[in-house]
A and B are shown apart, each in its own frame.
Chain A
């Protein structure tokens, strides 16, 4: 019955309660939606980085990160790639050759990372083959041609088109300079312009002998998992199977993405706590007014035998009801709008260039986890409880005999 009284009490002054409830609703909605928006962006960035750039797991020679990395290849990488499929949770794996090189065309040049890939394997691991905007992804290549697939930002920079001739220079495993002629056969475009400028692809067989690495060797085995949740488990399993190789997850390779991912988890709570802190004072103010205008009634309740615990509980419940009514409405609104935009996306194409420079996609799909919403609900209830303390203590200090006689 105390709970029923508390609930009815908050509707005694409808306008005042509604003002607080609307403030809480808007605050929580803004918090939920803005963080869902940020989380959506980060999730997409990580997803696209995994799908296009780093994959879930990479295997290298332990000294691969040293300067003369061309020599640090994995022997019989092709076989190792095949045996990786035995590990549960691995969706696909691809063996690559990789070298820093100088690429020149019609007078201009650029430093890029040249990858020698098996197109069929690679298209199971990365998404580059779906990002082709001109030409093709190693399809129908005439016999005498060495094909090259490059990013459109690099194509613009070098001023080249499909069929343009390109010369690639690098040093082979013995340190001898090598110069190879390629034809541009495909141009791709991901949402990360930095990646597009830096990565070019050719076939494994067009690079292997020129680099001077043994048949079947590779510099990098990229592994795609069935689910990111399996990351640590598969990484451990892979590492125990290939003790000679360095096994790194995308978190090791791109620590900035891993950091972003971790920070997003905290970010929502920081924003919500700041918002709730501001709302806390609003609720305290409302509850204080509610207590002070009911001095006579509270005095009567204590006179007829309502003990302090119950009085405190009643005021606390009023405060919690205010907070939760606003909080739940805000969470539902935030969740609803997030779900709507989560399927339609928010088109920020007008900023596409700037976003692409940072690797962000131009259409953002906000995302929020139910677990996070449950956490926010908990915080809202806590806010209700905390904001009741001062007004409730004020009520407990009332002298019933005096309070009853106040007008």
Chain B
């Protein structure tokens, strides 16, 4: 069974003078262990798609099921809990908690899940080591480079052992070396731990690494290319 099932998904923004059809009948599914990129020009609807799949936004019609659960049936507080337990997020602008160290940022999500302190610490150390930050665990985000912050964000996204990771333009703010480094880490985690990654991106480097590339234009799937 697919981990993410999207059927006839539409999203219309009615708040503007002219209704905008951000998504116009999307049918897609993602399997466990995919390393997929959703690409398309600005305004094509890729971020909207990721927001709906991530339970951050509602659809206008159609259906999204994650691991058999129809997101539409969840209340907003259930959705928060659902996100906490099932989805890892990596954002374009890193979005770490600035007053917490790298370690605490990763631990925080485990605390929200109610994990005991020693388990939190162990997992956070393990993940930060996996993303190559064993030396910078106790630094606050302001003392880390953009690439390092984004690696902390990846560690945080993985901390809760999510069913998949949604990464919205994760390399957009990074230089090419940091981007390569980050992509290598994510690819490695994908291969070694079978973690599912879905990116939205403009970045050709991400597209090159991805094993599946879904192209969206005007709210519709234009192409769906499986490279493996």
Contact = CB atoms under 8 A, between A and B. Distances in A.
Interface of A: 1, 4-5, 8-9, 11-12, 296-297, 300-308, 310, 400-401, 404-405
Contact of B95 (A9, A308, A404): A404
Contacts of B187: none
Contact of B80 (A1, A308, A404): A308
Given A300-B91, A304-B84, A304-B156, A310 B51 contact: no
Among A4, A8, A302, A303: residue with most chain B CB under 10 A: A303
B12 interface: no
Contacts of A405: 47
A401 to B, nearest CB: 4
Interface string B64-84: 000000000000010011011
A392 B98 CA distance: 19
B84 A305 contact: yes
Given A308-B77, A308-B80, A303 B85 contact: no
A312 to B, nearest CB: 12
A216 to B, nearest CB: 82
Contacts of A307: 77, 80-81, 84, 112
Contact of A404 (B91, B97, B108): B91
Nearest to B107: A1
B187 to A, nearest CB: 23
A405 B93 CA distance: 9
A306 to B, nearest CB: 6
B158 to A, nearest CB: 12
Contact of A5 (B77, B89, B99, B156): B99
Report the contact-size class of chain B (Cβ under 8 Å from the partner). 20 to 34
B98 A297 contact: yes
B97 A301 contact: yes
Given A303-B91, A404-B91, 13 more contacts: A1-B107, A296-B95, A297-B95, A302-B80, A304-B83, A304-B84, A304-B109, A305-B80, A305-B83, A306-B84, A307-B77, A307-B81, A308-B77
Nearest to A311: B80
B213 to A, nearest CB: 24
Contacts of B40: none
A16 to B, nearest CB: 15
Contacts of B160: 305
A305 B99 contact: no
B100 interface: yes
Contacts of A11: 99
Interface in B80-117: 80-81, 83-85, 89, 91, 93, 95, 97-100, 104, 107-109, 111-113
Contacts of B95: 296-297, 300, 404
Contacts of B81: 305, 307
Contacts of A296: 93, 95
B56 interface: yes
Contacts of A310: 112
Given A5-B99, A9-B99, A297-B95, A303 B56 contact: yes
A303 B97 contact: no
A305 B56 contact: no
Contacts of A400: 56
A303 B99 contact: no
B43 to A, nearest CB: 13
Nearest to A400: B56
A301 B97 CA distance: 8
5 contacts: A8-B99, A8-B100, A304-B84, A305-B113, A405-B47
B42 to A, nearest CB: 13
B57 interface: yes
A296 B89 CA distance: 14
A304 B36 CA distance: 21
Nearest to B91: A404
A303 B91 CA distance: 10
B152 to A, nearest CB: 13
Among A5, A300, A304: residue with most chain B CB under 10 A: A304
B219 interface: no
Contacts of A12: 98-99
A288 B93 CA distance: 24
A400 B76 CA distance: 11
Given A296-B93, A297-B97, A404-B91, A1 B111 contact: yes
Among B51, B81, B107: residue with most chain A CB under 10 A: B51
A310 B84 CA distance: 13
Among B77, B80, B84, B112: residue with most chain A CB under 10 A: B80
Nearest to B110: A1
B54 A303 contact: yes
A4 B140 CA distance: 14
A301 B54 CA distance: 14
Contacts of A300: 89, 91, 95
A5 B54 CA distance: 25
A56 B95 CA distance: 70
A108 B43 CA distance: 105
Contacts of A404: 91, 93, 95
A87 B62 CA distance: 90
Contacts of B111: 1
B77 A1 contact: no
